[in-house]
């Protein structure tokens, strides 16, 4: 019998985030939810990552309400979210009580699969979120943030996968956020992991460098169970490879793909219209749809390259781009080869620009880099260069244990603080994650409701 390959549809989260900065409001995708629900996906990735932040910051949406509405419209498909381990959806570490309650509420509001990753691949930063996910009865997808460096060997990845299984992972995700994984690497890494554990493996990559289709194909040959794709109008470039294309090719090669072609056709027709709107208003830029092989040369994610450019532009120093680009891998090496993913990608990029513009390395250091050197982000893949660490920390001693152990519980004090303002634990969680945005959102919500009441009265 033909081996089955399953699909995760990313249009609602990663494709949306990678191509149009997560600006898709609920109303724009609502009509397609029943169609996606019928299409036969393993899961629909629809929450987490930047969606939470952007809902509050730009879309005037309650992220929790969005999740509940998606859940109601899609009763048959697993809903998946992306969670940054101890960082949850933010950029620094939170106390354990917040991580636990957040995970519990995400599952209660409709999430089935939580993909949990850490920017440094430090399993200590995954432990609490993994535990909470298993406790809540959801699928914990233990995730490797894929990168290349002298210390990121297959043996080390396999060791990590075994630890993830110990922690309760029921699937393993290889997350290649920069799209730098080539077909042979995919084949070898998937084979190595398949040999080590008997868990379903999901490969996540981006089309940025153009490798993705080939990478998926070789991963499937090596036994990968699930691949992440985006419906064609929202595929390619910094997003995922196209769902329909992968389905077509895999079927031709004799694999079983349980996707309903009528449903994916309806989705493609609909999202073409949505995409055209974003191209017309400039939200979707041709650059993000293009193939960019620079990432292969510099081993830095596409998003980082555009961040470097915009930083230099702000400082009127665009002519220093090449130097900043060359400095980036050096900073990464100094810092012990962190994978370049949120938030380490931003930290490394900013530092590289500083080193170049200051004309002296590590003369200015952000508070995030300082915290990183103190050990607040976790154990680095390789040790930080001791001289640079000393230069940055002075006499301060780096931390040895888990940083979150030093954090006081935050949920109960915040509940008290928000008495009369927060209407639910979900509100409390939004506030802890993004205090200023949540406060503004609560005000807007109240305002909106008062206006609605007036309106109803006038209408009589």
Q: Near Co ion by CB under 5 A, which window of 9-17, 143-151, 314-322, 364-372?
A: 9-17
Residues between 177 and 206 that touch Co ion (CB under 5 A): 177
* Number of residues near Co ion (by CB under 5 A): 2
**Smallest gap from residue 12 Cβ to Co ion (A):** 13
Best CA proximity match to 8, nearest among 62, 66, 47: 47
We find the least distance from the C-beta atom of residue 311 to Co ion, in angstroms, to be 22
User: Smallest distance from the beta carbon of 420 to Co ion, in angstroms?
Assistant: 39
Rounded to the nearest whole angstrom, what is the least distance from the CB of residue 177 to Co ion in the complex?
5
How far apart are the C-alpha atoms of 142 and 85, rounded to whole Å? 10
d(CA 133, CA 82): 12
Closer Cβ to Co ion, 105 or 115, answer by number: 115
Spatial distance between the Cα atoms of 261 and 245, rounded to a whole number of angstroms: 11
| CA proximity to 203, closest of 144, 117, 291 | 144
Least distance between Co ion and beta carbon 181 (Å) = 12
Give the integer Cα–Cα distance in Å for 241 and 216. 9
> One symbol per residue from 259 to 298: x for binding Co ion (CB under 5 A), - otherwise; what is it?
----------------------------------------
Of 14 and 96, CB closest to Co ion? 14
CB under 8 A, 24+ apart: contacts of 419-422: none
State which of residues 8, 12, 14, 164 lies at the interface with Co ion (CB under 5 A).
14
Distance CA 121, CA 128 (A): 14
Among the listed ranges 12-20, 368-376, 383-391, 441-449, the one in contact with Co ion (CB under 5 A) is 12-20
Cα-Cα-Cα-Cα dihedral of 432, 434, 437, 439, to 10°? 10
Nearer to Co ion, 103 or 177 (CB): 177
Closest by CA to 385, choosing from 361, 412, 410, is 361
Beta bridge partners of 175: 145, 204
C-beta of 212 vs 437, nearer to Co ion? 212
Closer to Co ion by CB, 14 or 122: give it.
14
x-or-dash string of contact with Co ion, 150-179, rule CB under 5 A: ---------------------------x--
Q: Which is nearer to Co ion, 284 or 411 (CB)?
A: 284
Q: Which is nearer to Co ion, 205 or 266 (CB)?
A: 205
Least distance in angstroms from the C-beta of 235 to Co ion: 13
- Angle between helix axes 321-334 and 344-358 (nearest 10 degrees) is 120
Reduce the DSSP state of residue 217 to 3 states and report it: helix
Q: How far is the CB of 204 from Co ion (least distance, A)?
A: 6
Binding residues for Co ion restricted to 51-90, rule: CB under 5 A: none
Q: Which is nearer to Co ion, 177 or 263 (CB)?
A: 177
Give how far Cα 110 sits from Cα of 4, 105, 251, 449, Å.
Answer: 26, 9, 32, 25
The least distance separating Co ion from the CB of residue 238, rounded to whole angstroms, comes to: 9
Q: Cβ 189 to Co ion, closest distance in Å?
A: 17
Of residues 177 and 268, the one with the C-beta less far from Co ion: 177
Q: Which stretch binds Co ion (CB under 5 A): 6-14, 243-251, 344-352, 442-450?
A: 6-14
Of 177, 217, 223, residue with least CA distance to 197? 223
From 161, 158, 178, 160, select the one nearest 170 (Cα to Cα): 161
Contacting residues for 331 by C-beta, under 8 A, at least 6 apart: 348, 351, 352, 355
Q: Shortest gap between Cβ of 84 and Co ion (angstroms)?
A: 12
d(CA 234, CA 9): 11
Q: Which is nearer to Co ion, 241 or 336 (CB)?
A: 241
- Whole-number minimum distance, CB 17 to Co ion, in Å? 8
- 3-state SS class at 377: coil
Please report whether residue 96 would count as binding Co ion according to CB under 5 A: no
**3-class DSSP state for residue 48?**
strand
Q: With respect to Co ion, which residue has the nearer C-beta, 14 or 427?
A: 14
Q: 215: Cβ–Cβ under 8 A, 6 or more apart, which residues?
A: 176, 181, 182, 183, 185, 186, 203, 205
Residue number of the CB closest to Co ion reads: 14
- Interface residues with Co ion (CB under 5 A) are 14, 177
């Amino acid at each position: 019998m033909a081996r089955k390959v399953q699909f995760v549809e990313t249009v609602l989260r990663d494709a949306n985030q990678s191509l149009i900065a997560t600006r898709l409001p609920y109303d724009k995708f609502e009509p397609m939810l029943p169609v996606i629900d019928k299409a036969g996906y393993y899961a629909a990735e629809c929450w987490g990552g930047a969606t939470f932040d952007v809902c509050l910051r730009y879309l005037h949406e309650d992220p929790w309400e969005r999740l509940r509405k998606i859940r109601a419209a899609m009763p048959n498909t697993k809903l998946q979210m992306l969670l940054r381990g101890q960082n949850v959806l933010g950029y620094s570490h939170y106390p354990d009580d917040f991580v636990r309650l957040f995970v519990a509420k995400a599952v209660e509001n409709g999430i089935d699969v939580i993909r949990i990753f850490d920017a440094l691949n430090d399993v200590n930063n995954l432990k609490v979120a993994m535990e909470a996910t298993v406790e809540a009865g959801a699928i914990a997808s233990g995730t490797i943030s894929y990168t290349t460096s002298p210390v990121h060997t297959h043996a080390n990845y396999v060791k990590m996968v075994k630890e993830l299984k110990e922690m309760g992972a029921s699937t393993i995700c290889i997350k290649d956020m920069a799209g730098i994984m080539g077909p042979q690497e995919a084949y070898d890494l998937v084979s190595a992991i398949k040999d080590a554990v008997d868990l379903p493996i999901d490969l996540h990559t981006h089309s940025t460098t153009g490798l993705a289709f080939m990478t998926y194909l070789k991963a499937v040959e090596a036994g990968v169970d699930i691949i992440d794709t985006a419906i064609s109008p929202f595929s390619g470039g910094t997003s995922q490879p196209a769902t329909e294309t992968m389905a077509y090719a895999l079927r031709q090669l004799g694999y079983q793909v349980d996707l309903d072609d009528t449903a994916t056709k309806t989705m493609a027709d609909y999202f073409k219209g949505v995409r055209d709107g974003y191209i017309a208003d400039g939200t979707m830029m041709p650059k993000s749809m293009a193939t960019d092989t620079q990432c292969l040369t510099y081993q830095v994610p596409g998003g980082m390259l555009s961040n470097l450019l915009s930083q230099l532009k702000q400082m009127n120093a665009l002519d220093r781009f090449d130097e900043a680009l060359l400095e980036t891998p050096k900073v990464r090496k100094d810092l012990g080869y962190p994978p370049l993913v949120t938030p380490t990608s931003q930290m490394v990029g900013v530092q590289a620009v500083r080193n170049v513009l200051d004309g002296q390395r590590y003369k200015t250091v952000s508070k995030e880099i300082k915290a990183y050197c103190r050990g607040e982000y976790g154990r680095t893949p390789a040790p930080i260069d001791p001289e640079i660490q000393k230069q940055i920390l002075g006499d301060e001693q780096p931390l040895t244990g888990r940083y979150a152990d030093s954090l006081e519980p935050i949920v109960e004090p915040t509940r008290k603080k928000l008495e009369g303002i927060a209407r639910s634990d979900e509100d409390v969680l939004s506030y802890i994650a993004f205090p200023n945005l949540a406060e503004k959102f609560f005000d807007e919500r109240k305002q909106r409701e008062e206006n609605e009441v007036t309106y109803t009265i006038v209408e009589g």
